[in-house]
Structure 1
Amino acid sequence: MKKIIICLTIVFTAISCETENEYSNPSENAKDTVAYSKAGDTEPQNPSNPYDMAGQVHNQIAEHYIGGPSSPPRILLAEYVDGLALQNPDFAMLGNDYMPISLPGIVYILNNSDKTAAEALGTFEMSNSLKQGLLAFIQQVAALGRQNKDYSEIYNYIVSYETGIIAGTALKPEDKKAILTLTSITRYSSYFAKKQKQKPRDRDWDVSVGCLVACLSGTTESTQRAVTKSLVSEILINE
């Protein structure tokens, strides 16, 4: 499959509200998270995130997909990933209201990631500055991946952002859950991408802005759909 090139252009404004800085500047929390990682052997877990299982399940299904005998026809990709997910016992622990995903819907997100991001964020009951901080997080994670940064650097950036979200009090519980689900899947999917680029697999596997927006869109529906939307979007741009 040909790669889909995704562009997301967002203009960020200065944020002056002190009560929201914890969400918009992950570097301020970096000193608290460096202990989690060691260069070269960083694992993707963050036990401080109560929704860490979402990322774990994402990678379980991704490994099952990669390890399969053959890839399904593109037109059947969403149904195939749905099937893998429903066979995974841990997937059922993420919820009990799963609705199958749509391949055309994922393709639309990848080709219209800026519009989809705005629509997804419209469901969050938080300030514009916090929304801008979340979009900045998405862009920065994708940029670190494109720059082929070590996973330890990507991990520390994500966990520092999570630290602010977990400690903060400005978010409603459902919005905090959605963001921490996104960060969990992002942390694990970035780890999975790095593993694909190592031998013996030695293959390109990227996590684009579009993939992260697909995950964000999924979090507004259910944790399970965040997992499957993220994975299907990754497969589409990498195969």
Structure 2
Amino acid sequence: MKNVLLPGLLSAVLLMACSSDTELTPNEAVYGQTMKSTALQAENKLNPYDSIGRNYREFLSEYQNTGYNPTTFSGVSTAIATIMGSKAVAIDNNEQALFSTSINLPSSTLTSVLANSTLSQGAKDYLTTFVDDFATLRQQPFASAYTEIVNFENTITNSIALTTNDQGVLFTVTSLARYSLDHSCCEDTDWETSVGNIVAATSGALTDSNKAMQYLLISRIAQHENITF
């Protein structure tokens, strides 16, 4: 994986050198393997958005343990809205169409979503690299994938070219990716996370972190339940 992910990151860094008029002081903390217990082996406390991934896992576990059995997209959306409470928003037909293209055409959907976003070009390059490499990450042992994602987060936090909004979106996506890849979450291999699920989460993250979490839950659960979008 290192040969796939790191060159892309280096290219993104070069592209970002002059990409933003808004600079921020980088967090001096260096990302690393942080307090990974058996229960929270996906945790990286140095990601300021780590709680988004943790909350996602808690909501997913609640779904699994409550006995929901939706047979339609509307049923999935309703179940997630019930579980998430005030953190959830209503899903309209356009969003349902977005889920469909995210799953079936993840690459072109990501390109379109990022093109219409307000992210800096550097942040778009980072997200494109990360999502492209997710197909490889999901095939690795979790410990290896965890290390690669944390290294990616380290690069993000040390960049002086990314805006606060850029970092928020990136950290949200990487947090959700880490927790969704943790095998202790879902021993049933039918619960594997697809590239399309991460594209959906990325689309939601462009609005806010709660929508990213909601989009990932809906996308992943609908796919697991074999529900056609």
TM-score for both structures, normalised by structure 1: 0.73
C-alpha distance in 2 between matches for 1:83 and 1:45: 26
2:154 aligned residue? 163
| Aligned with 2:176 (options 166, 175, 185) | 185
State whether structure 2 residue 168 is matched by structure 1 residue 174: no
| 1:16 CA displacement | 8.2
Q: Is the 8 A contact 1:42 1:151 kept in 2?
A: no
| 1:73 CA displacement | 2.3
1:15 aligned residue? 11
C-alpha distance in 2 between matches for 1:125 and 1:109: 19
**Equivalent residue letter for 1:125:** L
Q: Is the 8 A contact 1:44 1:155 kept in 2?
A: yes
State whether structure 2 residue 207 is matched by structure 1 residue 221: yes
| 1:18 CA displacement | 4.0
1:125 aligned residue? 119
C-alpha distance in 2 between matches for 1:56 and 1:133: 23
2:23 aligned residue? none
| 1:216 CA displacement | 0.4
Q: Is the 8 A contact 2:56 2:176 kept in 1?
A: yes
* Alignment length (residue pairs): 201
Pair 1:194–1:203, CA change in 2 (3 A): same
| 1:48 CA displacement | 0.8
Unmatched 5+ stretches in structure 2: 1-7, 18-29
- Secondary structure (helix, strand or coil) at the match of 1:67 reads helix
| Aligned with 2:91 (options 93, 101, 116) | 101
State whether structure 2 residue 56 is matched by structure 1 residue 58: yes
Q: Is the 8 A contact 1:46 1:159 kept in 2?
A: yes
Q: CA RMSD in A?
A: 2.8
C-alpha distance in 1 between matches for 2:36 and 2:62: 27
**Equivalent residue letter for 1:57:** N
| 1:166 CA displacement | 1.0
- Secondary structure (helix, strand or coil) at the match of 1:15 reads helix
Pair 1:19–1:112, CA change in 2 (3 A): closer
| 1:101-149 alpha-carbon deviations (Å, 9 max, x no partner) | 244442232223223211322214322x65333222112223221x2x2
Unmatched 5+ stretches in structure 1: 1-11, 22-31, 93-97
Paired-residue identity, %: 24
**Equivalent residue letter for 1:232:** I
